Amino acid sequence: MDFERENFDLSGPLHLTCVQWDNAHHRMSVAASLVQAVYILERDRQEKRKDQNALAPPWWAFFHFQLLRPLVDDVDSSIFGAIFEFKPPLSPRNDTLYRSPRYVIAFRGTLTKQHSVSRDIELDIHFIQQGLHQTSRSTIALNAVRNMVATVGDSNVWLAGHSLGSAMALLTGKTLAQTGTFVESFLFNPPFVSAPIERIKDERVKHGIRFAGSVITAGLTLAMKAKQQQQQPPPPPQQLQQGKQPQQQKDLCVASFDALAAWVPGLFVNPSDHICSEYIGYFEHRRKMEEIGAGFIERLATQNSLGGLVMSAFGKESEALHLIPSASMTVNVMPARDFREAHGIHQWWQPDLRLERKLYKYK
């Protein structure tokens, strides 16, 4: 089964013989295939498959990409990402090449194989504890993307990732977006740290739980902000003598969240995947709160997590990656046979998908 899923000729998007780069489905399929290529790069390394025995190359060569270099974890030496360069053929003519990337930086998710599983699970735990940004793997990823963007510009680079890899891409994209650098991003099955509220069938119960959560989170946010202002040191005497008002401490969380609003990453979510399905409720609840006149509450709640607020209260640094202001969300509404299919990367290049797309812009 693993060999079949890793072999491009058996499970790859062979139907995409001519990629139309202005076609959303084609772009999604190529990005997902390059993420799969990273999975197979690591599997090739583990199984010592080289040269003609390697299974990874067709996953990028089919779309005229070349492997520029892999990204290697400094703890277990596993390949967790890769930089691919697009080398389109001179013919036939493709009028949509202007929408293609020059480089794609892709990140894989957790591999449940003995050579890499312990490190991957360690990083999964860091993500749950809102500390992925403090890991060496995230530093390697961020430096690779920053260097590439500095060399060729943000409009020539794509980010792509699946599961843990999408969290890595999201962290990198958010960090760059806070400085005004917006990289097109394809985040497949991105993890969302929350109770699985989206699985509740009764819409009234679901909305009630989310509403209560928003009120509690907004209340704690206001309380934390008031505490920060009380702890602010008094202004120096020289400032008071000049008749200047003391500058209020800026709410870094709000400022950071507002700065991200112009960045619109692509989220690819399956409702049957409890790891990522909460993104559906996260954005829809925000819309509903605006409709009932509770937008102020939700604007406070949507940029903070209860876990992050608790950690901040104890003086611990945290980064709630799953909280983002804007997104272009694609939902695969095709019924999934099981969790593995709902969470798998393979679904995103199938030709017969039933997809629903919505754009959410933070205001």
233 in a domain, yes or no?
no
Give the mean pLDDT of 103-115.
Answer: 93
- Report how far residue 105's alpha carbon sits from residue 141's, in angstroms, rounded to the nearest whole number: 9
248 in a domain, yes or no?
no
DSSP state of 314: T
Is the omega angle on the peptide bond into residue 246 within 30 degrees of 0, that is, cis? no
Give the mean pLDDT of 82-86.
Answer: 98
135 in a domain, yes or no?
yes
Residues 237, 321: contact at Cβ < 8 Å? Answer: no
Packing angle between helix 164-177 and helix 117-128, nearest 10 degrees?
Answer: 50
Q: How many domains does the chain have?
A: 1
User: What are the pLDDT digits (tens) for 181-195?
Assistant: 999 999 999 999 876
User: Percent of the chain beyond pLDDT 90?
Assistant: 61
User: What are the pLDDT digits (tens) for 197-239?
Assistant: 667 666 677 767 776 667 776 666 666 666 556 665 655 655 5
Whole-Å CA distances, 93 to 56, 97, 356: 27, 9, 31
Domain of 165, CATH number, reads 3.40.50
Confidence of residue 114 (pLDDT cuts 50, 70, 90): confident
Residues 145, 105: contact at Cβ < 8 Å? Answer: yes
Does position 355 have pLDDT exceeding 80, yes or no?
Answer: yes
24 in a domain, yes or no?
yes
Confidence of residue 249 (pLDDT cuts 50, 70, 90): very low
What is the pLDDT at residue 246? 40
DSSP state letters, 112-165: -STTTHHHHHHHHHHHHTT-GGGSHHHHHHHHHHHHHHHHH-GGGEEEEEETHH
What is the pLDDT at residue 69? 97
- Report how far residue 169's alpha carbon sits from residue 174's, in angstroms, rounded to the nearest whole number: 8
Q: Which of 31-35, 59-63, 75-79, 285-289 has the lowest mean pLDDT?
A: 285-289
Instruction: Supply φ then ψ for residue 355, to 5 degrees.
Output: -115, 145
226 in a domain, yes or no?
no
In this predicted model, which residue has the larger pLDDT, 248 or 132? 132
Classify the C-alpha dihedral 301-306-307-313 as positive or negative.
positive
Instruction: Supply φ then ψ for residue 303, to 5 degrees.
Output: -105, 10
Pairing of strands 79-86, 103-107: antiparallel
332 in a domain, yes or no?
yes
Give me the domain span that covers residue 173. Answer: 1-198+254-298+321-360
Identify which of 351, 357, 355, 348 has the alpha carbon closest to the alpha carbon of residue 334.
355
